[in-house]
Amino acid sequence: MKGINKYIDHTNINKKATRKDIEKTCDEALKYQFHGVCVNPEWVKTVATKLKGSGVKTVVLIDPPIGDSGHSQRLKWCQKAKKEGADELDIVINVPDVKHGRFDKVLGDLREICRVQDTKVIIGSGYLTDEEIAKASQIVKKAGAICVKTATYNDPLENRELAEKARHLKIMKKNAPGLLIKASGNIRTLSDIKEMIKAGADIVGTSSGVSMILESEGKKTEKQKPAGY
């Protein structure tokens, strides 16, 4: 099994984050060689510059928390992020469209976005029924994404038990075979991430990556201030 570090998208999506905060997040990711650093769009250039040549990916969160912006605006954000150095897009599916069964519209939106850059699609699983999670995962695969992801901030999944989060991952994995699966939403401890990996997660979005690594090494950890996940 790969090391815990390689599962982690080290995340800082705090709206009050400063350049110093974002650079610290990048320095931590470089030190521990995390999978990626996930930030809001305004920080893509900063992160891409800091991580250049390191193998740590620059990941950008697009259209949280429910993906309800217009298609043309979403596409522009994605194109801009790629131009500024993003390696991967973490874009939220249009949750209201999924809830209203507008699946052709959802697919059309995501297909065009997935042509821009490697895309991980956040389905907002805490808002969805099991059937909707399955359908959304199928659409994400059909659209050409590389990964289907559970949630972002303000998703009801944040406040649910770990077992419920694991159950969502299993539904996603079953309905999007061959795609990477990303877990997120208040995953804070070493035992949390191990549970997500056991349930099928290939990537985990968290702002607690450093404390997880220190915990895995048997070292005392300071309480980290959440930076979005």
- Kindly list the structural domains of the chain, giving each domain's residue range(s) and its CATH number in brackets, ordered by start: 4-216 (3.20.20.70)
Task: Measure the CA angle with vertex 44, ends 144 and 156; round to 5°.
Answer: 65
Residue whose pair of structure tokens reads 């998703």 in the numeric block: 155
32 with 60: CB under 8 angstroms?
A: no
Contact 57, 88 (CB under 8 A): yes
Query: Is the confidence at residue 74, as pLDDT, over 60?
Result: yes
Task: Give mean pLDDT, residues 44-57.
Answer: 98
Measure the CA–CA gap between 122 and 13, rounded to whole angstroms: 15
| pLDDT value of residue 166 | 98
In the residue annotation, 174 being an active-site residue is answered as: no
**pLDDT of 54 above 80:** yes
Average pLDDT rounded to a whole number, residues 144-171: 97
Q: How far apart are CA 37 and CA 108, in angstroms?
A: 28
Checking if the pLDDT of 223 tops 70, the result is no
Taking the model in full, what pTM does it have? 0.95
Q: Is 149 marked active-site?
A: yes
Q: Give the whole-angstrom CA distance, residue 29 versus residue 33.
A: 5
Query: What's the rounded Cα separation, in Å, for the pair 175 and 6?
Result: 24
- Neighbouring C-beta atoms of residue 152, cutoff 10 Å: 29
Higher pLDDT, 21 or 227: 21
Predicted confidence at residue 81, as pLDDT, reads 98
Annotated active-site residue in 50, 135, 141, 149: 149
80-131 per-position pLDDT tens digit: 999 999 999 999 999 999 999 999 999 999 999 999 999 999 999 999 999 9
- 40 C-beta neighbours (distance < 10 Å), count: 17
Instruction: Indicate the pLDDT class of residue 2, thresholds 50, 70 and 90.
Output: confident
- Confidence grade of residue 220 (pLDDT, cut at 50, 70, 90): low
Q: Which residue would you say has higher pLDDT here, 92 or 223?
A: 92
Average pLDDT for residues 172-201, to the nearest whole number?
97
**Structure-token pair, residue 106:** 């959802």
- Picking from 197, 195, 222, the residue whose alpha carbon sits closest to that of residue 210 is 222
In a 3-state reduction of DSSP, which class is residue 36?
strand
Reply yes or no on whether 182 is catalytic.
Answer: yes
* Best CA proximity match to 140, nearest among 121, 155, 127, 168: 121
Instruction: Find, among 173, 218, 167, 156, the residue nearest to 195 by Cα.
Output: 167
Residue of 63, 87, 90, 97 marked active site:
90
Which residue of the set 57, 182, 192, 202 is catalytic?
182
